[in-house]
Chain A
């Protein structure tokens, strides 16, 4: 095992960086990303969405989403950018307010799931033995429960609302990351640099946090962006099913409304919600891919 490690790709990489005046993995990554125009555009779009959410959360924009601006079901046009809904509210404002929900759910759920995944994964990978067995057993059991059923059950237990949405989505999406981290930590824990750290008297936590974690953190970043978009999609599905956020617009509830409205030819709620969701999910996917290209040493040069 240790032999193959010495000849691993990363070893080669370290030599390479030395030659080019010690450029770090992160410098490379940034360079690669900025070279990729699609990735930059995606990053920009995601940033724009984040900005909108912050503005809407602070009440600068879309605070008046509940106000009736015109007659029911006005078609999109000069007066109403994306038309109006059943109560004559602006679909455009609702879409923006929905962005806030989607982005916050994506962010918080991804953070929760990353925390759980990283902690459990690194503990399992690093300590091995009984602890590893226990954690592996736990997540295997956990994953055998169909996610959507688990989500529904959790939303019943926690009640409805934004907070329970964060928790439910966070709690159901950490297993994949946990697996990856566990494997990666296992590979790293016997490496020379970790052994050097222990030779210098580093404790478990020092080795794990200070030495191993930075070397597996690219996995976290890649997974974070993918989890982000999964959480957004799941939030939409749950809201569509009536299990999501209550009392405020969400893309899911907009699509739920639209399922009845379509029979009378009202397509703009569906259109607005889907468009908004499609753009952000696509951007996050492209960004995730670009991050993987940039950060995963195995893909270097491909």
Chain B
């Protein structure tokens, strides 16, 4: 659940394509993807990192998915026939699942032919996630949320064998194609968990046939087939010939319409015949592969940023000539400098505001993010409901005059009476420089800062043990809901929970409690915005920036955009083979 990232985490997750031999190029469309880390395996319940979950998402599918071409991120049915019906009290979710969806052909099924997916498969898959013997890594997602599931888990943790046939009250197949969830309390973010690979559908026969080896024998309903997974540097998927009729969306947000993303509208998915995933861990080989056309898209490695992107955020002409284009996408995250609210000192809102006002976020964006980020006004990043467009926090610096006034109001004129404040940050050149910058900025109003660098685990420990005064950190989204960000300031979530700063504002807590059990609605958005405004005006943190991804792609790759939720993206991508042949000549 914790997706803290360091402030300087580079735009580092690089995905690309490595080309195949000439012969293969002629036979069809091949998507070559390069990833920057080893893939752990192909079992959905263990897919807790970006790399494994992306691979799982090629073979397996879930009830829901994010609409490929809509922003803000919108959930749409995938294996479900439609969005579920939710009972009045928000506790019962009833899904109708698609009929006629087939699993991949596999020896585990009678005659080796993939059987039809039924509601019972989801019951089984989600029980697997809860299986105490398997220790699935995504259990936190449903822990304490589905009626009877925790009890089932506890009961079986002591028994020698886990009984999947025992009925769990909150997780039932009420018909061949109907699935019913009963929750213990309203949890509107529940639907997001059904779009995460942890809850994707697996077939019981397959799991039982392969046992331990199931990790390497993915059999799902998804657009691509991988007969066996081997821990190699190259994984080859082929198109699923029995894939159900799933069409490329014909609706899109304006930005995608304008960018020509609807050219393939209505075509049957997947659009390519093969997907080749290359594991290339070092960034320079990945970059060189991209430049040679063997990798179709790549997030720009930090070291190559200046050579690839001109100061005015354009692609350098050298790359433009080769048909490469630059995509800039905001990512759902926020960087911040948190105050430790356990300290009496920082319970003084005027002091916090003064410090926030003294900090020049624009300059820091220039110095540390190549001017690519958006200065954050409050905690919720743009792109999800709860962010207030065009809102400017009254305490967003730099305004030294005002800061000095507020500092005097706080009782520390010119910083007199203030102790030396320590600023903890991860060790690493950029983090240290960010700290030095904070020090320099606050010195302008007479606040003295001492920068302390720590190894990442030590910093985490210090935050949990409340041994910090100020610290610099960042948060990336688990799902596109402001709740995931606002919870960082919710009092009861205090460390060791996600609220490391220990901010505790009764008004904010009350609003959060109300909003967190509400369904997505204009009223909830209004509450989110209200909280977001409080989070800006009370300045519980000094906000940093919302970062952006800089991705390069080749001209022959169609329909690609960088997204925060990449699972299943490969089925929408297309390769223009003619263009590729031409473009590769130029490279």
Which residues of A are in contact with B by a Cβ distance under 8 Å?
66, 68, 72, 86-87, 160, 242, 246-247, 253, 256-257, 259-260, 263-264
Contacts and interface: CB of A to CB of B under 8 A. Distances in A.
7 contacts: A68-B440, A72-B367, A86-B367, A87-B367, A87-B437, A242-B453, A260-B430
A86 B453 CA distance: 19
Q: Main SS of chain B's interface residues?
A: helix
Return the 3 tightest CB-CB contacts between A and B, nearest first: A242-B427, A264-B306, A256-B429
Given A253-B432, A257-B429, A259-B429, 4 more contacts: A86-B367, A242-B432, A247-B450, A260-B429
B428 A257 contact: no
A258 B303 CA distance: 13
B433 A257 contact: yes
Contact of B450 (A66, A246, A259): A246
Interface string B413-457: 000000000000001111011001101100100000011110000
Contacts of B429: 242, 256-257, 259-260
Nearest to B440: A87
Contacts of A257: 429, 433
Contacts of A253: 432
A242 B440 CA distance: 19
Interface string B35-60: 00000000000000000000000000
Interface centre among A68, A259, A263 (most CB of B within 10 A): A263
Contacts of B451: 246-247
A68 B436 CA distance: 13
Nearest to A258: B429
B453 A66 contact: no
Contacts of A72: 366-367
B452 A160 contact: yes
A263 B443 contact: no
Contact of A246 (B307, B366, B440, B453): B453
A246 B431 CA distance: 13
Interface in B288-315: 303-307
Contacts of B432: 242, 253, 256
Interface in B354-369: 366-367
Chain B contact-residue range equals 20 to 34
Contacts of B307: 263
Contacts of A242: 427-429, 432, 453
Interface centre among B437, B443, B452 (most CB of A within 10 A): B452
Contacts of A263: 303-307
Nearest to B423: A247
A154 to B, nearest CB: 15
Given A66-B443, A259-B429, A260-B430, A87 B436 contact: yes
Nearest to A72: B367
A257 B434 CA distance: 12
Interface in B380-430: 427-430
B108 to A, nearest CB: 52
Interface in B523-564: none
Nearest to B307: A263
B363 to A, nearest CB: 9
Contacts of A246: 450-453
A33 B366 CA distance: 54
Contacts of B304: 263
Contacts of B443: 66
Contacts of A87: 367, 436-437, 440
B506 to A, nearest CB: 37
Contacts of A86: 367, 433
Interface in B458-479: none
Contacts of B367: 72, 86-87
Nearest to A160: B452
Nearest to A240: B429
A260 B370 CA distance: 13
B84 to A, nearest CB: 50
Contacts of B430: 260
A252 to B, nearest CB: 11
A256 B430 CA distance: 10
Contacts of B366: 72
Contacts of B450: 246-247
A86 B452 CA distance: 19
Contacts of A160: 452-453
Contacts of A247: 436, 439, 450-451
Nearest to B441: A87
Interface in B245-272: none
Nearest to B370: A264
Contacts of B427: 242
A144 B453 CA distance: 29
A66 B440 CA distance: 8
A246 B420 CA distance: 14
Interface centre among A66, A247, A253 (most CB of B within 10 A): A247
A247 B440 CA distance: 10
A268 B222 CA distance: 55
A256 B306 CA distance: 19
B44 to A, nearest CB: 39
B468 to A, nearest CB: 15
B398 to A, nearest CB: 13
A120 B88 CA distance: 82
A178 to B, nearest CB: 32
Contacts of B433: 86, 257
A257 B453 CA distance: 15
B445 to A, nearest CB: 15
B419 to A, nearest CB: 15
A247 B420 CA distance: 12
A87 B433 CA distance: 9
Nearest to A246: B451
A264 B311 CA distance: 11
Contacts of B440: 66, 68, 87
Interface string B168-189: 0000000000000000000000
B423 to A, nearest CB: 10
A136 to B, nearest CB: 36
A230 B437 CA distance: 31
A256 B440 CA distance: 19
A168 B452 CA distance: 18
B95 to A, nearest CB: 50
A246 B367 CA distance: 20
Contacts of A256: 429, 432
Interface in B103-152: none
Nearest to B368: A86
A87 B307 CA distance: 22
A257 B443 CA distance: 21
B415 to A, nearest CB: 15
A257 B437 CA distance: 13
Nearest to A259: B429
A253 B453 CA distance: 12
A80 B427 CA distance: 30
Interface centre among B306, B429, B430 (most CB of A within 10 A): B429
